Structure 1
Amino acid sequence: MNALPLAPVLSLDPRWVVATLAFATGLSAALIGWLLSRAAASVPRQDRLWLDPPPPGYRIVWWPVQWLAHYLRTLLPERHARASLASLRLAGLDYALDPAQFLAGRLVWALLCAGLAAWLADTLALPMDGSVLGGLALGFAVPRIWLHDRIELRRRQTFKTLPFMLDLVTLCVESGLNLNSAIAQAVAKGPVGPLRDELARLMRDVRAGRARSEALRDMAARLDMASVSNFVSTLIQAEATGMSLGPILRAQAEQRRTERFARAEKLAMQAPVKLLFPLLLFIFPCVFAVLMFPIVVKFMAAGL
């Protein structure tokens, strides 16, 4: 019985295969580019005429932050958005960033740091997985750490300049100006800092038609400091009862100055305790090495 002939084996031209792969790759790249352009075009431009400029770290990557924030805004939980907005308000950034933009910036910097870590790991022959995960964690955590440090810095500066600003307001009130004019003079002549910015925002709110007591409460909530809250509550109570503002403001300035000196004394007393660890870890070993070196050399020269 004759055997059936085998089916002819198809042979593919390598040039045809390369051309097909190139065409598929180009089509995929074009499709991805079209999808990205459509996604970017669907993001509305934010009107920042009445907003503050974003921080420098966000300004560098502002376009991807704005695009990503547009899609994160609907997915962000309300509880997380309120907590993030409260932190941004304490840092004085509630007119510069919203919660979605802050989270988008953290994600963008996490991806950038991960890419940089991957490049360094490939260049220096380091473990790739650990480097990428470390870059992601670093890029995601640094904006949050920076925000916390900014809040603490604003509180320290406010605590430092509050007595002087109260002295200016007291001087203007006792010279015959009303409270609004006195605060305006303090803003014009006072030292640059977060307290001056908050008082300027207070005056803008009052000029816009808000009640002064409500604007004062909002300022106290933005600063979130016991000294400022005490001053605001005392001032509102004095206005409600019709008391003279001059003596009250002078007493508040003296009390804030006493609190500032007490805090300085507390920090001065804490300094030796904080210096103990670096003293034992870094300074004492160097001192002992310098003192013991001649003795060791003499023992070595004597053959002991």
Structure 2
Amino acid sequence: MKSLVAALAVALGSFLLAHVLFARLGQRSLAWRERLGALVATLESRCPAQLRQAMRRRLDEAGRPPLLDERRLFAATAALLVLALVASIGAAAGLASPALPVALSIGAAAPWFWLVEKGRARKEAIARELPFVLDLFALALESGTDLLGALARVSERLRPGALRDELVHALRELRLARPKREVFADLAVRTGSPELSRMVAVVLQADRMGAPLAESLRLLAEQILQERFLLAEKKAAQAPVKMLLPLVAFIFPAVFVVLFAPIALTLLRG
């Protein structure tokens, strides 16, 4: 157990060290930055296109963390996997603990799990705020504002968060005269949110057919609210089933000890 904990600490330290060294070398030495960047770019270009797309998608859904990009993620993951391979050879030869390659592999996968969890949290935050945003959109459109003006007014009234960041990003691209269809399509793909994808589909369909957008947005807001209410009811119904295992594993044994321990002690003494 101690060896596994130590190996996990080594894996985490290796990932942080690789990340810090990549950043430090990039800041202090242009020559090192160019060499290291060229090496990483060469290795990255040879990895499967599906892996590169997965990295880009995970980073987009996680909101593009400022200290983590495709190159750093690939460099740290590749370095830890190489170390895991070397540690596996050392463990097979009896020169290293068998827990070390396992821990290094976990360290290589850790940023991916973190990105997945962060992306899930952002999607949940977007789904939670979207009905309110759709109502604001509808009010702004009904007051005579065009889509660009409504997007600007809604972005100003939202509190800082994932949805506000994405809407501000879309507004910035629209003001740069990028086609509306491309901006909203990228918004849906970038976030990976099903609810936001439905909003984009409604906006683009109304723009293509000339239909009133405000009414469609209100209907979509009601649908999303109803779906979230049903989802909350479903989770509440599943709660007793999920609590059964902790009850059986932890609470029931303690209750039995409290109830039957005095009886057992009395019988042993008698």
TM-score tier, shorter chain, comes to 0.7 to 0.9
1:105 and 2:65 equivalent? no
CA radius of gyration, larger in: 1
- Gap change, CA 1:128 and 1:85, over 3 Å in 2: same
Task: Using the TM superposition, give the Cα deviation of residue 146 of structure 1 relative to its aligned residue in structure 2, in angstroms.
Answer: 0.6
* Alpha-carbon distance, 1:203 to partner: 0.5
Q: CA deviation at 1:202?
A: 0.5
- TM-score normalised to structure 1 length: 0.69
Aligned residues with identical type, % of pairs: 34
Offset of residue 210 of structure 1: 0.7
Residues 88-128 of structure 1 show CA distances to partners (whole Å, capped at 9, x for unaligned) of 222221876442321213355679999xxxxxxxxxxxx94
Aligned to 1:268: 236
Find the partner of 1:163 among 124, 127, 131. 131
Amino acid across the alignment from 1:89: D
C-alpha spacing 1:265/1:70, structure 2 compared with 1 (3 Å): farther
Counterparts in 2 of 1:196 and 1:172: CA distance versus 1, 3 Å: same
Q: Displacement of 1:232 after TM fit? A: 0.9
Q: What residue ranges of structure 2 are gaps of 5+ in the alignment?
A: 1-15, 27-32, 86-94
In structure 1, what is the equivalent of residue 42 of structure 2?
A: 74
Paired with 2:267 and 2:247, the residues of 1 have a C-alpha distance of 29
The 5 Å alignment of 1:263-302 reads 263-302=231-270
Say which SS state the counterpart of residue 191 (structure 1) adopts.
Answer: coil
CA contact (8 A) 2:199 2:220 kept: yes
In 1: Cα distance, 2:52 partner to 2:153 partner:
36
In structure 2, distance between residues paired with 1:139 and 1:64: 21
**In structure 2, what is the Cα distance between the partners aligned to 1:243 and 1:197?**
28
> Which position in structure 1 is the counterpart of 2:110?
142
TM-score, normalised with respect to structure 2: 0.77
2:151/2:167 contact within 8 Å kept: yes
Contact in 1 for aligned 2:80/2:105 (Cα 8 Å): no
Alpha-carbon spacing, 1:226–1:60, altered in 2? closer, same or farther (3 Å): same
Is 1:93 aligned to 2:64, yes or no? yes
1:221-259 Cα distance to aligned partner (Å, 9 max, x none): 112233222221111111122222221111111111111
| 1:209-224 matched pairs, under 5 angstroms | 209-224=177-192
Higher helix proportion (structure 1 or 2): 2
The answer to whether residue 23 in structure 2 is matched with residue 63 in structure 1 is yes
Instruction: Report deviation, 1:218.
Output: 0.6
Residues paired across the two proteins, number? 235
Q: Which amino acid aligns with 1:91?
A: A
Q: Distance in 2 between matches of 1:223 and 1:301?
A: 68
Following superposition of structure 1 onto structure 2, how do residues 1-150 of structure 1 map, counting pairs within 5 Å? 60-63=20-23, 68=36, 70-76=38-44, 77-79=47-49, 80-93=51-64, 97-107=68-78, 128-150=96-118
CA distance in 2, matches of 1:197, 1:190: 10
Structure 1 residue 290: Cα displacement: 1.5
What is the alpha-carbon distance in structure 1 between the residues aligned to residue 200 and residue 142 of structure 2? 19
Q: Partners of 1:111 and 1:282 in 2: how far apart?
A: 41
